[in-house]
Amino acid sequence: MTSSRRPVSGQSAGEALRSLATISLSSIDGFRVELQRYSACAIEFRPVVTDSGAPPGFWLRTAAADYLYYESQTSPFHQVHILLLLTGRLLLNDGSGITFDLRLVPDLSPEMARLILGDDTQIAGTEDEAERLVFRAMKHAHRRMPGPAARRLLRQLRPLHAALLDAVPEAARAEVPGRPGPRVRLHRAVVEIREAVLALRPYVDPELAAAARKVMHPAGLAGDEAVAAVEASVLAAALRARASGPPVLATGGVPGWQHMPGPDLPSEAAWLARVARAFDRDSQAGAGGLSARPSQYARISKQ
């Protein structure tokens, strides 16, 4: 539940997000400072570890400041997306009076919320509404990325993207109205991959990544190719674990098997495309793939 404030700027939420999106890719703190200037109140960004299956960020308003909490166990680009999404929710609910987020009590109807809190209670804009604003705002921020390059990366991401959404359908994001271009579709695919990876954290074998690294060099893999192959094998094994049984781990520290690319869409998508190629090779190898040999990894890790 939040009591709302009005921003000092006359910009709409969409216009404000467009301005903030470009800044956010350069500096998260610069983004925070500019949002603070726009909203005329103190803004704090706080990294946290969220539970698997929970939203990767949330917004809390107090009399002193607005606090935007975002997932620490994900890539810089995904963190920017989460913060922009929270900012979108904040900007969409900038009227006077009380604003209530129904996600806090999902069984409570808007009518009941107003009966309890008062007739002038505003119901916070939906996640989908805020996310559509983010995709439109980031379209401008990604304008220098060539369309053909975005289409190529989309094709390369397809095996990994499809497998993850099939296993974790709740990772699918809001549909963008109209006919979104390749940059927007690439942005959405990247976010869906990252959301699915977060959901798979309880199914990750903590020993698999360390052991897999030891077999990469004999397999002829080195450098980024080896790192991508480790990440792909961890994800493939986690997908199988999710399909076959209950979670094996509680959410813990930042996964050491994850490579963190730059905060921009081209860097993020290029890395995930590399992982997707390794994932496709692993899947085609079947029982001979790296991820299909956890018992062998366990023996190697103890050597």
Percent of residues in the chain assigned helix, strand, coil, to nearest 5: 60, 10, 30
pLDDT of residue 6: 52
Residues 105 and 196 in one domain: no
Residues 128 and 267 in one domain: no
Instruction: Phi first, then psi: give them for residue 216, nearest 5 degrees.
Output: -70, -45
For residue 174, give the amino acid letter: A
Indicate the residue among 80, 100, 134 that finishes a domain: 134
Indicate the residue among 134, 151, 174 that finishes a domain: 134
Question: How is residue 198 written in tokens?
Answer: 């977060």
Residues 165 and 273 in one domain: yes
Residues 81 and 194 in one domain: no
Residues 117 and 244 in one domain: no
Residues 291 and 153 in one domain: yes
Residues 204 and 74 in one domain: no
pLDDT band at 2 (very low <50, low <70, confident <90, very high): very low
- Whether 266 has a pLDDT exceeding 90, the answer reads yes
**pLDDT tens sequence across 9-62:** 557 888 888 889 988 888 899 999 999 998 888 999 999 988 887 889 988 877
Residues 288 and 208 in one domain: yes
The span from the CA of 92 to the CA of 19, in Å, is 15
Residues 119 and 161 in one domain: no
pTM of the model: 0.82
Question: How is residue 67 written in tokens?
Answer: 């606090």
The strand pairing partners of 45, in sequence order, are 68
Residues 282 and 165 in one domain: yes
Number of separate domains in the chain: 2
- Whether 97 has a pLDDT exceeding 60, the answer reads no
**pLDDT tens sequence across 200-225:** 988 888 777 777 777 665 555 667 88
Among 14-18, 135-139, 177-181, 255-259, name the one with the lowest average pLDDT.
255-259
Torsion over CA: 215, 242, 246, 170 (sign)? positive
133 versus 1: the higher-pLDDT residue is: 133
What range defines the domain where residue 28 resides?
A: 2-134
pLDDT of residue 286: 53
Residues 89 and 150 in one domain: no
Residues 82 and 18 in one domain: yes
- Whether 197 has a pLDDT exceeding 90, the answer reads yes
Indicate the residue among 81, 114, 134 that finishes a domain: 134
